């Protein structure tokens, strides 16, 4: 308006009702239409005016009469007007001649224009606000709740938590650590970050995070965790349907292309979607002092989350020597998500440990696994990340069935069920990561 331009971002949408909420962070001197005033009137037969604005800043108006589907029990819900609209007026407001807001024009190329009544718009906006408040509340209360739970775990058995009861972790975009990143880094992460869910019939079984990688030319490919499709006994659940929440918040079907139960890695492909710049797995040696981000996306809300921390020199009591840990704290929603440095470089893929930070697989091993999927070749170039310099050696990919899968700590296991000395060692390693080396269940002290 008047050659003023403001940047906005998509905050909420509802494809069923054909509406979207775009949030403009800048403070604007504009009049906001009240949705919740109590004026009651019969819209049938009222003269109305539809308004819109084209890209040249020209105000467009057209008048007509408000009608409804008379004779139907649903007449107060399905509303029409005789206003003849152009395409750019779709999404514009509809008023009566007294200035009362009637609703939003939805479809322009019809004999009678359908509009969404004010009452339904208000109901959807209240729903959006409630959903956002729930997400913000869970994110703010999480640190206090986790501290209380950690105290209760010592000597007190906790009841199993329902699947998916905790979703949010770290900072929700664009707050917190997201504001510390360069715009290009944030954009690259968000354009490749997806959430996935597996379904058996109509029942949702698992959710996790994934990200687009440069793997196949025929269709976009997502790297994620095989937890999406695996049973607890290290077998794939047959007959699953995979749904992918894309970066643009659209949902589509995914197809399981490859998986490794030994490394808990899976590849899922999607169709009819373009990825401009997928994640590059050809990273370089990591400086141990580099700040890292464990990134995830919530399947239900679409929120992007990031928890920060540094790479540590402990690996808990898991016996997989290929796993390393960071001090980032995530939830199950972050399983399969990328671990990236603050400069945007890809470091690895995250898993979940409820007691000791976040385990992850290094990029070089993931690159070897992907090459094995493509060629069947098991040898790969392994970088010795514990070294101060860039030293490589030949590693070997373990095929499914050749060895027992690495021990995975049960997600329902509690501190009371563990060896007490191991619990003390874990807590010491977390509290003083520069003093203790805790790997494969053995604690070492730096001198």
Domains in the chain (CATH in brackets) are 9-121 (2.40.10.10), 154-404 (2.40.10.120)
* Res 185: pLDDT: 94
151 has pLDDT over 50:
no
167: left (phi over 0), alpha (psi -120 to 50) or beta: alpha
Contact 248, 176 (CB under 8 A): no
* Res 394: pLDDT: 85
* Res 59: pLDDT: 87
Residue range 114-133: mean pLDDT, rounded: 77
Mean residue pLDDT of the chain comes to 78
Residue range 362-387: mean pLDDT, rounded: 86
* Res 152: pLDDT: 45
391 has pLDDT over 80:
no
Q: How many CA atoms lie less than 13 Å away from 75 in the CB half-sphere?
A: 11
316 has pLDDT over 60:
no
104 has pLDDT over 80:
yes
pLDDT tens per residue, range 188-234:
999 999 999 999 988 899 999 999 998 877 789 999 999 999 987 67
Q: Percentage of residues in the chain with pLDDT exceeding 70?
A: 71
45 has pLDDT over 70:
yes
43 has pLDDT over 80:
no
C-alpha to C-alpha distance for 178 and 306, rounded to whole angstroms = 7
Residue range 418-444: mean pLDDT, rounded: 52
414 has pLDDT over 50:
no
Band of pLDDT at residue 41, cut at 50, 70 and 90: low
pTM of the shown model? 0.58
Q: Which residue has the tokens 């239900």?
A: 300
Of 50-59, 197-206, 278-287, which has the strongest mean pLDDT?
Answer: 197-206
């Amino acid at each position: 308006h008047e050659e003023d331009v403001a940047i906005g971002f998509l905050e909420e949408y509802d494809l069923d009702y054909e509406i979207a909420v775009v949030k403009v962070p800048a403070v604007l001197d504009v009049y906001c239409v009240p949705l919740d005033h109590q004026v009651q009137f019969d819209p049938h037969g009222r003269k109305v005016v539809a308004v819109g604005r084209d890209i040249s800043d020209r105000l467009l108006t057209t008048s007509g009469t408000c009608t409804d589907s008379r004779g139907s029990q649903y007449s107060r819900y399905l509303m029409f007007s005789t206003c003849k609209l152009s395409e750019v007026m779709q999404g514009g407001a509809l008023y009566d001649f007294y200035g009362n807001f009637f609703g939003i024009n939805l479809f322009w190329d019809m004999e009678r224009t359908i509009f969404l009544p004010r009452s339904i718009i208000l109901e959807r906006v209240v729903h959006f606000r409630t959903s956002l408040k729930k997400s913000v509340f869970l994110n703010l209360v999480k640190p206090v709740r986790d501290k209380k739970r950690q105290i209760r775990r010592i000597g007190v058995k906790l009841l199993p938590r329902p699947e998916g009861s905790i979703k949010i972790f770290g900072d929700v975009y664009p707050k917190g650590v997201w504001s510390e990143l360069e715009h290009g880094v944030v954009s690259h992460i968000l354009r490749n970050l997806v959430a996935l869910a597996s379904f058996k019939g109509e029942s949702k079984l698992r959710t996790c995070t994934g990200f687009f990688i440069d793997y196949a030319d025929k269709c976009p490919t997502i790297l994620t965790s095989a937890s999406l499709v695996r049973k607890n006994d290290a077998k794939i659940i047959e007959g699953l349907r995979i749904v992918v929440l894309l970066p643009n918040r659209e949902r589509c079907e995914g197809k399981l292309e490859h998986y490794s139960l030994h490394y808990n890695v899976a590849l899922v492909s999607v169709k009819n979607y373009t990825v401009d710049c997928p994640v590059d797995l050809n990273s370089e040696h990591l400086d141990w002092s580099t700040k890292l981000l464990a990134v995830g996306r919530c399947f239900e809300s679409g929120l992007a989350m990031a928890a920060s921390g540094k790479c540590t020199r402990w690996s808990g009591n898991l016996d997989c020597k290929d796993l390393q840990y960071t001090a980032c704290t995530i939830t199950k929603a972050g399983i399969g998500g990328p671990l990236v440095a603050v400069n945007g470089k890809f470091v690895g893929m995250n898993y979940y440990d409820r007691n000791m930070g976040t385990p992850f697989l290094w990029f070089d091993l993931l690159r070897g696994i992907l090459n094995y999927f493509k060629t069947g070749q098991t040898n790969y170039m392994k970088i010795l990340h514990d070294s101060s310099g860039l030293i490589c050696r030949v590693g070997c990919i373990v095929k499914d069935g050749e060895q027992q899968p690495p021990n995975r700590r049960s997600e329902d296991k509690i501190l009371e069920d563990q060896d007490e000395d191991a619990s003390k060692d874990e807590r010491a390693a977390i509290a003083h990561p520069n003093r203790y080396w805790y790997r494969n269940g053995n604690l070492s002290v730096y001198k």
